[in-house]
Amino acid sequence: MAAPGLLPGLGRLIEMPSALGRLSRAYSKPHAFTEVLQLPKMELTKLVFPLQELQRHLLPDAKPDLIQLRIFDPSLEAIARAQSFFTATPRNRIEYISSAVRLDHAPDLPRREVCFIGRSNVGKSSLIKALFSLAPEVEVRVSKTPGHTKKMDFFKVGKYFTLVDMPGYGYRAPEDFVDMVETYLKERKNLLRTFLLVDSVVGIQKADNIAIEMCEEFALPYVMVLTKIDKPSKGRLLKQVLEIQKFVDTKTQGCFPQLFPVSSAPPTVAPGPLSVGSSAPAATSPTH
């Protein structure tokens, strides 16, 4: 699936204030990776491949075999193609379908499915909202209060796949969390990929280990997504990336080897049309 290619690009894209100043002038609406492609090479690399930027901060004498970032490096064409999956058009409808608290209440859909799991407050709903920024009629609710998403929320992404926003685990998780999410992960037949979100400020926590063990035990192919990369300093982020990467290399079997670093934060300077927080309310939306 090409969609993962979108994550580092769009996530970072909405986070870089200096580049946004330029983009704000160039954009009339919140879209068009084609226009990002017109940025000078260095600026484009910073936006789309944040780990390449981070790599410059490694000590020059670091042994390359010991400390080496594994950079997810999709082609720009692949990213542009991935964007088209998330662009709502009459022929590519992106919409909320329904919510479920139990697997047997989940919609029976023919398409392949991907889900976002992670601790409460890690930024699952925010990332989905950012991914849907080119489908502003779809409402995805985010909140600073952990434990906000209480049900599994199913969204249709064109004819391509279904995306599922999960309740968070850990602090203020719903009581029926284990029944709901564990059963889903174990038994959902059309689950193609699980995106496990980890907060880049605090790294892998105890509760994350339980989720990682679940993914490993059920032999799920999963991807580790590092959220909120706008928050830590570059040094801290680099440390987290290297630690988590080492963990993935040495302790996991089913995890995609490269991390996806993302930020869903709206720009702090020069708020422009790329802000993810400007979605209009939808006619149908998840209830919590």
Ligand X SMILES: Nc1nc2c(ncn2[C@@H]2O[C@H](COP(=O)(O)OP(=O)(O)OP(=O)(O)O)[C@@H](O)[C@H]2O)c(=O)[nH]1
Report the interface residues with ligand X, using CB under 6 A: 118, 120-126, 142-144, 146-149, 167-168, 227-228, 230-231, 263-265
The answer to whether the CB of 35 falls within 8 A of the CB of 27 is: yes
Q: Which amino acid is at 194?
A: T
Kindly state the smallest distance separating residue 263's Cβ from ligand X, in Å: 4
Kindly state the smallest distance separating residue 125's Cβ from Mg ion, in Å: 3
Kindly state the smallest distance separating residue 165's Cβ from Mg ion, in Å: 6
138 binds, among ligand X, Mg ion, none (CB under 5 to 8 A by kind): none
Number of residue whose CB is nearest ligand X: 168
228 binds, among ligand X, Mg ion, none (CB under 5 to 8 A by kind): ligand X
4 binds, among ligand X, Mg ion, none (CB under 5 to 8 A by kind): none
> How far from each other are the two terminal CA atoms of the chain, in whole angstroms?
30
Kindly state the smallest distance separating residue 152's Cβ from ligand X, in Å: 11
Residue with smaller CB distance to ligand X, 23 or 122: 122
How many Å apart are CA 112 and CA 162, to the nearest integer? 6
Kindly state the smallest distance separating residue 250's Cβ from ligand X, in Å: 27
Query: What is the token pair recorded at 140?
Result: 């995805």
How many Å apart are CA 176 and CA 195, to the nearest integer? 21
143 binds, among ligand X, Mg ion, none (CB under 5 to 8 A by kind): ligand X
Per CB under 5 A, residues contacting Mg ion are 124-125, 149
Helix axes 124-131, 6-13, angle to 10 degrees: 90
How many Å apart are CA 285 and CA 114, to the nearest integer? 19
Helix (H, G, I), strand (E, B) or coil at 75: coil
- Whose tokens are 């600073």? That residue is 144
Alpha helices in 60-123 (DSSP H): 76-85
Residue with smaller CB distance to Mg ion, 120 or 258: 120
Residue with smaller CB distance to Mg ion, 149 or 227: 149
